[in-house]
Amino acid sequence: MYLFIVNPVAGNGQGRKVWSQVEASLHQRSIPFRVEFTKRSGHAKEIARIAASQGNVSAVVAIGGDGTIHEVGNGLVHTEIPVGFIPAGSGNDFSLAQKVPSHPEQALEQILKHHVRRVDTADLGGRTMIGFAGIGFDGRVAETVNRSPMKGHLGRFNYIWSALQTLVRYQPTETTLTIDGKPYTYQGVWLIAINNTPYYGGGMKICPQAVNTDGLLDVCCVSNLTRNQFIRIFPSVFTGRHIHHPSITLFRGKEITITSPTQSIIHVDGEVIGKTPLSLAVQPQSLSVLHPWEESS
């Protein structure tokens, strides 16, 4: 039996609307299901964890945005219960990377024809990163996005709007990345992104070559740019062409530590979790996800 975990407030109420379409479709097809609505932050993780321990669900489907996926993924990591996604948030970057259709009924269709694939996550010391993390400018943007009263109304444009607001004030800082034991120090670091999947920030292709089945984390470090240069290269992140700029350095590794003399804000899967220092270690093939059947066959 499928368990649907619905975040009714994701996408400023979009979660509830998407669920009513999915529910009608499930009834129409006579598919048995259970549904639980999240009541507070952290609740999706609790529901998923209990479902995994009881063993009476075959798959969990998260209806919400990246924050809901983060929580459900944290509840199911290191279990065999697969998770599927029906996007209803404002960013939906993980769904974008998994090529989940944005239309609820098409997304459901894909879930019903799924096969299961194990994907990598990363451990941050008790918390699990499912898709992506960001430090510095990105952390500040995530904070601005999550506080914005316009979040649910502007959708992806809210990330761009928040990025522009942050750009005016943000001060780049010295940062050291240690990748599998090797340290690299950069002056004037704007941001460091650590990704399992290419996208974050509502469709920005920050680590275009990231794959969540290779046992490695992709890292993109943006440093040594004036504010004007940063503004000029910013649009190229939507196509992934920013990686050719000399101020962009890419890394790949299994264990990553980030430190900075001035503390920088960190977000994980779009949720602000604190400030540097940060240590992550890849957890290869630690989460089962529902994938479209067509892709693998």
Ligand X SMILES: Nc1ncnc2c1ncn2[C@@H]1O[C@H](COP(=O)(O)OP(=O)(O)OP(=O)(O)O)[C@@H](O)[C@H]1O
Using the minimum distance from each CB to ligand X, give the nearer residue, 23 or 255: 23
- Find the farthest-apart pair of alpha carbons in the chain and give their distance in angstroms, rounded: 59
| Contacting range for ligand X; rule: CB under 6 A; set: 67-75, 162-170, 179-187, 189-197 | 67-75
Secondary structure, 3-state, 222-281: EECCCHHHHHHHHHHHHCCHHHHCCCEEEEEECEEEEECCCCCEEEECCEEEEECCEEEE
| Contacting range for ligand X; rule: CB under 6 A; set: 63-71, 96-104, 130-138, 272-280 | 63-71
Of residues 68, 173, 264, 283, which one binds ligand X by CB under 6 A? 68
Decide: is 41 part of the binding site for ligand X (CB under 6 A): yes
Decide: is 7 part of the binding site for ligand X (CB under 6 A): yes
The distance of closest approach from Cβ of residue 45 to ligand X in the complex, given in angstroms and rounded to an integer, is 9
| Contacting range for ligand X; rule: CB under 6 A; set: 34-42, 116-124, 249-257, 288-296 | 34-42
Check if the beta carbon of residue 170 is closer than 8 Å to that of residue 190. yes
Of residues 18, 66, 131, 230, which one binds ligand X by CB under 6 A? 66
The distance of closest approach from Cβ of residue 29 to ligand X in the complex, given in angstroms and rounded to an integer, is 26
Q: Is 54 exposed, middle or buried (0-12, 13-18, 19+ CB in 10 A)?
A: exposed
Residue count, binding to ligand X (CB under 6 A): 22
**Tokens of residue 35, six digits:** 């549904």
The distance of closest approach from Cβ of residue 108 to ligand X in the complex, given in angstroms and rounded to an integer, is 18
Using the minimum distance from each CB to ligand X, give the nearer residue, 11 or 136: 11
Question: How would you label 177-199 residue by residue, b for 16+ Cβ within 10 Å and e otherwise?
Answer: bbbeeeeeebeebbbbbbbbbbb
How crowded is the C-beta side of 57, counted as CA atoms within 13 Å? 25
Decide: is 39 part of the binding site for ligand X (CB under 6 A): yes
- Minimal CB distance to ligand X: which residue? 65
The distance of closest approach from Cβ of residue 296 to ligand X in the complex, given in angstroms and rounded to an integer, is 25
What part of residues 84-103 is at the interface with ligand X (CB under 6 A)? Answer: 89-92
Decide: is 104 part of the binding site for ligand X (CB under 6 A): no
Cα gap 221→192, rounded to integer Å:
4
Decide: is 197 part of the binding site for ligand X (CB under 6 A): no
Decide: is 67 part of the binding site for ligand X (CB under 6 A): yes
- Return residues touching ligand X (CB under 6 A): 7-11, 38-41, 43, 64-68, 71, 89-92, 270-271
